[in-house]
Structure 1
């Protein structure tokens, strides 16, 4: 049986080190689910559950965007938010080497390198949002203000 500390992810360790209170929500999940399925499974409003998307700008810089799971990233709005001419989603096979996370378990916290991160402006409407905890089947609930204590995160209108 796994000890409680064995359940910790890099994202949780970063939050713990910063003294940030959060709720971890873990569930059995043999493979990645859609964000809407995760929201349904956890009985949460999809507007409050955010997915983490990793992109590459025309400049070659990488960016992380957090948007509600039922929404679609508007690439033009995203590019404007990070002052790029254009951005594109990275290929799934590039995610693990770049971030240290797998598809369906990519947390904005605890990546191999700190990337410019932008959350959809709707995140400020909630006391706490839910996002990947860094492992498939693990979600973290925390405030956007607390998230900004461990991550340089800004907000912008990002969805279609």
Structure 2
């Protein structure tokens, strides 16, 4: 894919990071409903994309710091698998306020890209079966599409099976 500098949607720390790295990506703004409870599924529906291609960014607390798990929006984060991927005994979901402080984003718009502090990141291995994945662009109502390899490279993500399908 030719490197492009998309102009649709807002400029965020995530898009700035992508532009600086010279990574080709697409911008996907959509109308966010304030009443939405499941932001990732809302994004998939608004973009007309299979939910297995849209990934959510979840922060975990390792007891000594935070980590980032990136999994499909139609599944859940397997906390035991996440702990194993990070090389720690156990993890819990991070406090939302701590996640916002650490990343510089608000819950529902946390991007794995352009966070205030680089955190250990794990990308679910299902992403690598796809040509393109969609992640938050740093705001509710805004996703970016890019290669999972580029996502992993920019976030220095480890590849591991951390997602669990929900029936």
Could you tell me the TM-score, scaled by structure 1's length?
0.92
Task: Show the counterpart of 2:50.
Answer: 45
- How far apart are 1:109 and its partner, in Å? 0.6
- How far apart are 1:9 and its partner, in Å? 0.7
- How far apart are 1:30 and its partner, in Å? 4.8
Matched, 1:157 2:161: yes
Matched, 1:107 2:103: no
Instruction: Out of 115-124 and 86-95, give the one that drifted further.
Output: 86-95
**Map 1:1-160 → 2, pairs under 5 A:** 7-31=10-34, 33-34=37-38, 35-58=40-63, 60-160=64-164
Give the unaligned 5+ runs of structure 2: 1-6
- Counterparts of 1:144 and 1:124, CA distance in 2: 6
**Runs of 4+ residues deviating >6 angstroms:** none
Say how many residue pairs are matched: 156
- How far apart are 1:148 and its partner, in Å? 2.9
**Contact 1:22 1:141 survives alignment (8 Å):** yes
Give the unaligned 5+ runs of structure 1: none
Could you tell me the TM-score, scaled by structure 2's length?
0.88
